[in-house]
Amino acid sequence: MENLQLIIPELFISIMIMFLLIFGVFKKNSSLVVYNLTTLSLVAALALIINLDTQIQSSLFNNSYNIDSLARFMKILLILSGIFVMLSSSKYIQISKISKIEYPILILCSILGMMVMISSNDLIVFYMGLELQSLALYVLASFNRDNLLSTESGLKYFVLSALSSGLLLYGCSLIYGFSETTNFNQIMINTKEIEYGLTFGIVFILVGLAFKISAVPFHMWAPDVYQGSPTSVTVFFALLPKIAALTVFIRFLYIPFYELGDQWQMIIIFLSIASMVFGAVAAIGQKNLKRLIAYSSISHMGYALAGLSTGTTQGVQSSITYITIYLVMNLAFFSCLFMLKRNDEYYENIDDLSGLSKNHPLLSLSLLVVLFSLAGIPPLAGFFAKFYIFVAVINEKMYFLAIVGLLATVIAAFYYLRIIKIIYFDPEKEKFESKHNLGLKFTLVASTFFILAYFIYPSGIVDIISQININ
Amino acid sequence: MNFPVLSSLILLPTIGALFIFFVRSSNSQYQSSKYVALFITLANFFLSLYLWIVFDKSIVDFQFVEEREWISGFVNYKVGVDGISILFILLTTFITPICVITVNATIKNRLKDFLIAILILETFMIGVFCSLDLVVFYLFFEAGLIPMFLIIGIWGGERRVYSAFKFFLYTLLGSVLMLVAIISIYWITGTTDVIKLYELGIDAKYQNLLWLAFFSSFAVKTPMWPVHTWLPDAHVEAPTAGSVLLAAILLKMAGYGFIRFSLGLFPDASLYFVPLVYTLSLIAIIYTSLVALMQEDMKKLIAYSSVAHMGFVTLGIFTMTQQGIEGSIFQMISHGLVSAALFLCVGVVYDRLHTRLINRYGGLVSIMPKYAIVFMVFTLGALGLPGTSGFIGEFLVLMGAFKKNILVATIASLGVILGAAYMLWLYKRIIFGKLINEDVKKMVDLKKFEIVTLWLLVLPIIFFGFYPEPLINSIEVSVANMIDINDLDKINKLVLGE
């Protein structure tokens, strides 16, 4: 039982969930308190994770739960993003009248599920984490229940996600059938030869995972859910589930099926190219910023998958770097979105940004930086993210993937430029409110500064990530 | 030499930009931010002048080299100058303060933002010319797109959005292949350090594809026919200062890139593709000169003339002779000065009459005599009259070309005649002729700051026309070394069977 100290962060969050639930039910009008306590407990969980001994590499519970450098880094990333999401959206949920005690608790539940996913080394544990995460997200997506779009998005997400979970479970059972075990390491030992059933299992699981990170052709839910959900939930969708799903992707491909690289590499390359190109092309016609960022994130996931498709440690590390920078960029973008508020109403159409630079020079400057960074123009952080990916991809002589990816960045640059054009070149509109709460301002400034100043010391993150080894 | 001169050159404009950004100023204080910008750019000019004086012209090696760890174990931040790059740095630091002086007349709104954009752009431009690492070079090369996009888009003319997008996307599309090539070079040779790459050399079997990837980027930026169409649009719509920077410096990045990377890293491939470059250059020279003849918009005419002049540059570079390359560099510097001056001249009359159509003018000589004089000098500089810097460049290029291929040189010489035709015709239509337009009569002659800026450009054009020694002197050793280390002469002889 002494190993339990390694999962103290998870235990802590579970206890906090129960405590907050009871606290919220018994104390009237406590939604704000619960919200702040949730943020605090995330901070505490972050401290607990950082406090764990970094040298420990161990597997708990019959080798089904991994505490290693990958899990550690991804959990820190996850909880940090969680904290920033909570900080930036606190005002939004009050104004949109979705400030209920369930909201932060559901977020905690979902984060707990993701932590389990990140550490899982076993198909069943992984599935458990996934479902905990997804169930909380279904509710969150439709949290604004009086809003037609929100309920629609919740339902749509539920139906499609349930279908993909079903496929995933079917894949798990196939793999179990052919390898007689659910443990990742054990699967690797038991599957020395390729069997059709096994390949089918891999494909089913990959489909399920691709659905979770919204890779083309399993992306259909993303634009509607992004647009329909309350913005505070959209930012959650855009950041946290991607971290968890990418980690599972890495573990799943690189531990049990590393030897079967030929079986899955083509699939990942296809997913990657399709996502990069489709995401870039489909975003061009969008009018809603949330919908646009949905397509943009589809495209970004394509780049992260390109790193994974290389089958090398370097590729995995480049993907992790990519997702880290992607998180910061999206966080900055959504912080800007939270600032487009006038008379207690939030604006989310591209046209609402028209001439923003005249009235809000600082906000537009941040947007400018974020959008150029998303487009991957040096010297901003987004360029380095892509750069690491292409370094890994070209090292494997996958020139086709690299060139398609780079051409997709040019297409994508067009729609980012279009937003910049609307902000900077178009005539101005009515002013937005310029008073914002401190958490939101801090999030925006910190993330924009990160993007801007990344080039000064790019080795920092890379050095940390290069210590992550998968096996 | 411990003081990091080059890094200071790169950083100084950014510091100035940050200063302007953070110091809050009301509308009346816009002037003060202008003086800050002027001060910073002038300081940068004197710093680079100092660099030129201290620079040892007899040494082949790169000087003032600074190296710092950057992306650990992969890319180092490395800058340094040789005789070629130092001239481009000087050109940049010389043109930028002139742009800052002109903003008064041309930029009506958001002056502060404009100055910030120009200063940031200067940082990137200097960075391009002194980076000695491919990744660092790419970083600066691409980063320049951001401020230029904003300069065209925010302060440009009517079709500014179209032009800004065209400029950005064309250049970006051209450059992405270069990134693939740079990363490939890293995996082939294990380094992106230019000096090391010069020593190591790149295996001939990879060179052709890599050369093409670099070419796609530089050809768009030069611009070479047939990917030149973004240039007239960008020039026409950009504000005067933007056009000046675009013509004088941004285009030169590509010519510089051809010399530093295409010739330096891929000598075999460069030789292999000589016919391609010759053909495209000749088409650029003849075709765009003819197109320039037909233009009714002054800026467009000068933009097309830029394409033709850059055609001479690419032609000269790929003659791979001492004269040809020196001539190209000289032509780039000279064109940097002359085209900057011409765009300023267009800006002068545009500010008064608010049209760029040539037929709206005529008979300016009696209304604006001072203007007529300087415009004359620049016109002659552009068509390459002996005694102006334009002549030296074209002459050297043609000399190099005659050495290699008489047919090519003859056709290129035709371009000189066409150049004289469109420039003189432009001059005739604007300055001479009858005064038809009543509005023209109300135009006032050059103001003080215009006289200063334009004469600042007249002086070097004439000085280097009569006495090119300082420039030639500075590039001679570096060019000779470039030809030497890559055995361009030997390769040439082998191919020509001499």
Once rounded to an integer, what is the mean pLDDT over residues A224-244?
A: 90
Residue A399 clears pLDDT 90, i.e. is over it: no
With beta carbons under 8 A apart, name residues in chain A contacting B187. 394-395
Distance from CA of B282 to the nearest CA of A (A): 30
> Contact at 8 Å (CB) between A137 and A157?
yes
* Mean pLDDT for all residues in chain A: 88
pTM: 0.91
343-402 in chain A: CB under 8 A from chain B:
361, 372, 377-379, 383-384, 387, 390-391, 394-395, 399, 402
| Nearest-by-Cβ selection for B154 from A394, A402, A424 | A424
Instruction: Using pLDDT thresholds of 50, 70 and 90, give the confidence band for residue A461.
Output: confident
What pLDDT is stored for residue A471 in this prediction?
Answer: 60
> Which chain B residue shows the shortest CA-CA distance from A361?
B113
Cβ pair B176:A406 closer than 8 A: yes
pLDDT of residue B28: 52
Inter-chain touch A379–B143, beta carbons under 8 Å: yes
Contacts of residue A201, Cβ cutoff 8 Å, sequence gap at least 6 = A171, A172, A173, A174, A175, A177, A178
A275-304: pLDDT as tens digits: 999 999 998 888 899 999 999 999 999 999
Give the span between the Cα atoms of A272 and A216, in whole angstroms. Answer: 8
Comparing A31-45, A221-235, B357-371, the range with the smallest average pLDDT is B357-371
Chain B touched by A139 (CB under 8 Å): no
Whole-number pLDDT of residue B497: 47
Cis, peptide link before residue A361, omega less than 30° from 0: no
The confidence score (pLDDT) of residue B488 equals 60
User: B392-421 in b/e burial notation, b at 16+ Cβ within 10 A?
Assistant: bbbbbbbbbbbbbbeebbebbeebbebbbe
B150, B161, B173: residue with CB nearest A410: B173
* Chain B residue with the nearest C-alpha to that of A464: B72
Query: Which residues are CB-contacts of A340 (< 8 A; sequence separation ≥ 6)?
Result: A346, A347, A348, A352, A353, A432
Q: What is the pLDDT of residues A447-458, one digit of tens each?
A: 999 999 888 888
Amino acid A323: pLDDT: 93
Contact B75, B136 (CB under 8 A): yes
Structure-model confidence comparison of residues A53 and B460, the more confident one: B460
Per-residue pLDDT tens for A114-146?
A: 999 998 988 899 899 999 999 999 888 888 888
Residues of B in contact with A417 (CB under 8 A): 149, 164-165, 168-169
pLDDT of residue B371: 86
Do A410 and B172 make contact, defined as CB atoms within 8 angstroms?
yes
Please judge whether A413 and B169 are an interchain contact, meaning their C-beta atoms are less than 8 angstroms apart. Answer: yes
Which residue of A276, A356, A403, A417 is the best one to mutate when testing the B interface, meaning the one whose CB has the most B CBs within 10 A?
Answer: A417
Residues on chain B bordering chain A, Cβ-to-Cβ distance under 8 angstroms? 69-72, 74, 113, 135, 138-140, 142-143, 145-146, 149-150, 153-154, 160-161, 164-165, 168-169, 172-173, 176-177, 179-180, 183-184, 186-187
Cβ count near B60 (within 10 Å) = 15
Say whether pLDDT at A164 is over 50.
yes
What's the rounded mean pLDDT across residues A442-471?
A: 85
Min Cα distance A384 → chain B (Å) is 10
Mean pLDDT by 10 residues, chain B (498 residues): 79 88 66 84 90 84 84 83 88 90 76 87 91 91 90 85 90 88 89 85 85 91 87 88 89 90 86 89 90 88 90 89 89 91 88 82 82 89 87 89 87 89 88 79 80 88 88 84 70 52
Max avg pLDDT among A254-263, A321-330, B153-162? A321-330
A431: confidence class by pLDDT, cuts 50, 70, 90: confident
What is the per-residue DSSP string for B62-115?
A: -EEEEEEEEETTTEEEEEEE-HHHHHHHHHHHHHHHHHHHHHHHH--S-HHHHH
Q: How far apart are CA A70 and CA A75, in angstroms?
A: 8
Hey, what long-range contacts does B4-7 have (CB within 8 A, 24 or more apart)?
A: B4/B66, B5/B47, B5/B50, B5/B51, B5/B64, B6/B51, B6/B64, B6/B66, B6/B79, B6/B80, B6/B81, B6/B126, B6/B130, B7/B66, B7/B79
Residues of chain B contacting A406 with CB distance shorter than 8 Å: 176-177, 179-180
The residue with tokens 């300087």 is: B374
If you write DSSP's letter for every residue of B388-403 in order, what string do you get?
BHHHHHHHHHHHHHHH
CA-nearest of A126, A308, A291, A324 to A225 is: A291
Question: Are B176 and A462 within 8 A, CB to CB?
Answer: no
